[in-house]
């Protein structure tokens, strides 16, 4: 039986609009994530491409979601697994996969995002860190309860992510709604009082980042978040309609795991990757990804600037014992939500480890574009000047 993951409401007093799955390129997905094992010249135990073409898409999807390939496919979204199944089999599904969400899960009436005054000023937990400084602290007046009351809370409702193989993102509470996403590529807007679904939208890839809610220049509010294919989205917080979508890094394993930070009309997006998960394979051409921070116009998604945590692009260095070419420098992905320091006109981010030997991380003042580079340990903090 498939594991179900849950989000719960603990005595908190705070219309469906579904977008079709984004078109996926099965050939690109196979090349990026599968070919290293399923398209080799040696005697690999993995079934080769011609053998997989003899299977039906239903059989391949079964293997990806419940069978021997479940662990390998866990980072792919529902839409990506379907695209892989059809590409490898060369055939469409005989019957379109059913919607795993029953109609009874949706709210009976479409209540709007609470609009009395500013919903962001009421009881809320917005983004990963609540504030632009990532304080991760909820004052008693905002929480509507005291610390002494926490031990007396009782379960009010629970929501199971339909068909999910891994859990959801950190929930965000704004205007009487809870915004939460999952690894299947689904974003949900739930009613905070009942847990019913106001709307759900399926995006291109799985989501790991928390959602950031902000005012739109055109009126209303938008939900900003990124996915595991390095796409950033702005979604109407009222209806679930996708306002814009931009890809902030073309590297095949680039991903967004930290929540975007919104300030003064700019959306600051951290970019990480899953390339380090491949370095255990001696046949993998490691590594060329460089972490970065990207500033987007929150209204349009247009890129304002992009700064890499590693100054140089990767170049061939040496070969391993199997003769596989190794490259570098690489790594230093930005996994966390940026912190904004308005007084010092600075943006702070933390980086992950390096993927190649001899990698140096850069601290980059944006206005001057001068890079003060120092040899550091793989994990570091960088200060950027974003405004």
- When pLDDT is cut at 50, 70 and 90, the band that residue 103 belongs to is confident
Residue 381 has pLDDT above 60, yes or no: no
Q: What is the pLDDT of residue 98?
A: 65
Tokens standing for 218? Answer: 């055109």
Whether residue 207 is contained in a domain is answered as no
- 224 forms beta bridges with 212, 234
Whether residue 98 is contained in a domain is answered as no
Domain enclosing residue 336, as ranges: 250-387
Whether residue 331 is contained in a domain is answered as yes
| Of the residues 89, 113, 130, the one at which a domain ends | 89
Whether residue 287 is contained in a domain is answered as yes
Average pLDDT for 127-148:
88
Q: What is the pLDDT of residue 222?
A: 96
Q: What is the pLDDT of residue 374?
A: 29
Query: Tokens 């496919």 correspond to what residue?
Result: 73
Tokens standing for 313? Answer: 């692009």
pLDDT in tens, 29-41: 887 777 777 877 6
Helices marked H in 110-184 — which ranges?
140-143
Please give the tally of structural domains in the chain. 2
Tokens standing for 181? Answer: 């996403």
Average pLDDT for 205-218:
92
Per-range mean pLDDT, top range of 47-56, 109-118, 201-210: 201-210
pLDDT in tens, 328-364: 999 999 999 999 999 998 999 999 988 886 666 554 4
The reported pTM is 0.77
| Of the residues 89, 106, 127, the one at which a domain ends | 89
Whether residue 53 is contained in a domain is answered as yes
Residue 313 has pLDDT above 80, yes or no: yes
- When pLDDT is cut at 50, 70 and 90, the band that residue 129 belongs to is very high
Please answer whether residues 87 and 29 qualify as being in contact, where contact means their C-beta atoms are separated by less than 8 angstroms: yes
Whether residue 11 is contained in a domain is answered as no
CA 84 to chain centre: 20
């Amino acid at each position: 039986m498939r594991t179900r993951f849950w989000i719960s409401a603990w005595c908190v007093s705070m219309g469906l609009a579904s977008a079709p799955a984004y078109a996926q390129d099965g050939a690109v997905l196979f090349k990026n994530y599968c070919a290293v094992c399923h398209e080799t010249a040696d005697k690999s135990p993995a079934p080769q491409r011609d053998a997989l073409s003899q299977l039906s898409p239903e059989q391949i999807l079964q293997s990806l979601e419940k069978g021997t390939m479940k662990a390998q496919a866990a980072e792919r979204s529902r839409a990506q697994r379907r695209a892989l199944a059809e590409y490898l089999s060369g055939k469409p599904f005989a019957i379109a996969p059913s919607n795993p969400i029953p109609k009874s899960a949706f709210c009976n009436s479409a209540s709007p995002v609470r609009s009395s005054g500013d919903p962001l000023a009421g009881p809320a937990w917005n983004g990963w860190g609540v504030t632009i400084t990532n304080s991760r602290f909820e004052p008693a007046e905002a929480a509507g309860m005291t610390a002494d009351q926490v031990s007396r809370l009782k379960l009010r409702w629970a929501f199971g992510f339909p068909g999910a193989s891994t859990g959801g993102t950190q929930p965000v509470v704004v205007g009487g709604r809870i915004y939460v996403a999952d690894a299947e590529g689904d974003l949900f807007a739930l009613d905070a009082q009942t847990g019913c679904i106001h709307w759900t939208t399926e995006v291109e890839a799985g989501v790991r980042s928390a959602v950031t809610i902000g005012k739109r220049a055109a009126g209303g509010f938008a939900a900003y978040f990124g996915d595991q294919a390095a796409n950033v989205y702005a979604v109407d917080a009222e209806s679930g309609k996708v306002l814009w979508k931009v890809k902030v890094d073309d590297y095949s394993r680039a991903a967004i795991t930290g929540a975007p930070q919104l300030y003064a009309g700019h959306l600051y997006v951290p970019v990480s990757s899953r390339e380090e998960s491949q370095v255990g394979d001696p046949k993998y051409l490691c590594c060329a990804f460089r972490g970065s921070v990207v500033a987007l116009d929150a209204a349009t998604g247009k890129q304002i600037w992009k700064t890499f945590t590693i100054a140089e692009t990767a170049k061939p260095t040496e070969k391993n014992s199997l003769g596989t070419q190794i490259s570098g420098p690489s790594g230093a992905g930005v996994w966390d939500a940026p912190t904004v320091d308005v007084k010092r006109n600075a943006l702070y981010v933390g980086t992950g480890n390096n993927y190649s030997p001899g990698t140096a991380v850069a601290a980059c003042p944006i206005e001057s574009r001068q890079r003060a580079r120092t040899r550091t340990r793989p994990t570091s903090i960088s200060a950027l000047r974003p405004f």
